[in-house]
Chain A
Amino acid sequence: MTEPRNPGMSSMPQTAPVHTDSTSPAVEMDPVEYTLRKRLPRKLPKRRNDVYVNMKTEFRAQLARCQKLLDGGGHREICVHGLGLAINRAINIALQLQASSQGALQLAANTSTVELVDDLEPEDPDEAGEPMTRTRNNSAIHIKVFYPDPQ
C-alpha cells in the first residue's frame, strides 16, 4: 500500500545495504515549513504464528494472544517481532511466556535494522517547497519462542 505513493523507493533493490547515517542527505528545512509524516514500516511477512508487538495494544492482551497461539493454536513455535520502542515489550512477552512454561519454551532472538521512510510535505503549497522523503533506521528484534525438539 505504500507502493503507489512512493515509486522511487519501491524500485530500490531490496538487497541494498542499509546505511544509517549516510543515506539521508542533510535536508534543509528552512524557509519552507514541512509536515513530517511517518510512514508505516514497509511490508512485513505475516504467518499465523507471527506476532507483531506494538505499543498501542494492551500488554496483557498481546501476551494472552501469544499464549493462546502456543497453547491452543497448536503452534510449536511463534515469532514475536518488535520495532523500536516495542522491542522492550516484545522481549517482555517472550520472557513471560518462557517463565510461565516452566522452562519448556526456548527463546532465540535475532536483531535487525528496519529502514523507515518519512514524508516531508510542505505546509504551504504556494511556496516552492517540494515533497521530500527521508529515510532513517530503527532497530528491531525477532524472537522465536519455541518448544525444543526432543532429541
Chain B
Amino acid sequence: MFPGCGVLSGQNQYLTRDAVRPHPGLEVNGPIQMENGGTPGTCPVYHDQTYSNAGQQAVVYNVSSPLKPTPLPVPPPALKLGQEGFKKVCRTEEDSPCPFPGLASGVLEMRVKEGSKIRNLMGFAMTRMQGETGVSGGGVSGGGLRQVVFTGSGRAVTKTITCAEIMKRKVGSLHQLTKLQYKVVKEVWESSEGGTSEMTVHRTVPSISVLLSKDPLDPQEPGYQPPETLSALWDEREGIESATQAACKRPLGPLPYSGFPHCKRVCLGEGVSVHPPH
C-alpha cells in the first residue's frame, strides 16, 4: 500500500506538496519551485507512544480480514492493547485528502509531530517565508514564500496551532484558513508473548491544518480568519455586546473561563464576514 515507506523516529518532515494533484478552483498562488523540499510521496512511519485520548476510536481487524475504511461515528469501547501483551510495531498515517482544495502546488507544508521542536519548525519556516537572500538558495524569489501550511494530528495539534500563532505574530498580515478533519492512523500491533498473532488497528485521530497566506483568501470559507485578529478576536466583540450580561446562567465561581465579574458575549462568526482590504 505504501511503497517506499521509510522508518523514522519522530523527526520533522518538511515536504512540498507534489504537483500531481489536480487543483480545481482558484489558484491563489503560482507554483513555487523548491529545490530541496523533501521527497514527495513518502509516508512517515514512526514508533510512537500509545494515544490514550478520550474519544479516539480504534477498530481492530485481524490481518487476514480485508481492511475497510473505518466507519466514524460509532465509538467502540476503548482498546487497551498495551495491557494485553501487545506491542506496537509500526504506525502509519494514511493519506487523507488535502483540506485546501484550491491550493497551489509547491506550498510549503510543515508536518508537525509530537516530538518536533518548535524552534526547529519555526526556524525553517520563517526562513522560507521571509526569503532571506542566500539562505533560500537556488535563486528563489527574494520575498520568500507566499503561503505555508502547518498540519499536525493527535497530540501535535496544540503544537501546530502554537506554530501558526507564532508565525502570525512574527510575520504579520497573514490570512489564515483553519481546517479540521479526522486522520486515519494504521497501527500494527504484535503479541509480545512470542505468538505470531498480529493485529492492525485503524485509529482515527483529530488533525488540524492551518494555511497561512500573505495573499488574501476567500473570506466566505468556513475557518477563515482575517489578519490581525490576534487580540481583536475577543475584544471587538466584547465592545459590541458588553451590554448583555443576562446570558450568564451559572454563578460566577471558580469555574475555568468564568472567573471575571462581567460575563460578556462574543461571537466568533462575525469575523468571517470581514473582508480584507483588497
Contact = CB atoms under 8 A, between A and B. Distances in A.
Contact of B55 (A42, A43, A45, A63): A63
B247 interface: yes
A46 B225 CA distance: 21
B87 to A, nearest CB: 25
A47 B265 contact: yes
Chain A, interface SS category: mixed
Interface in B226-247: 229-235, 237-238, 241, 247
Given A88-B157, A109-B178, A77 B230 contact: no
Counting chain A CB atoms within 10 Å of each CB, which of B223, B234, B268, B271 scores highest?
Answer: B268
A3 B231 CA distance: 19
Nearest to B237: A45
12 contacts: A1-B252, A18-B230, A18-B231, A41-B257, A43-B262, A44-B258, A45-B266, A58-B54, A108-B223, A109-B180, A110-B223, A112-B234
Given A41-B259, A59-B54, 6 more contacts: A43-B262, A48-B249, A89-B54, A108-B224, A109-B208, A110-B271
Interface of B: 53-56, 72-73, 154-155, 157-158, 161-162, 164-166, 169, 176, 178-182, 206, 208, 210, 222-225, 229-235, 237-238, 241, 247-250, 252, 254, 256-269, 271-272
Interface of A: 1-3, 14-20, 40-48, 50, 52, 54, 58-60, 63, 77, 79, 81, 83-85, 87-89, 91-96, 99-100, 106-113, 137, 139-144, 146
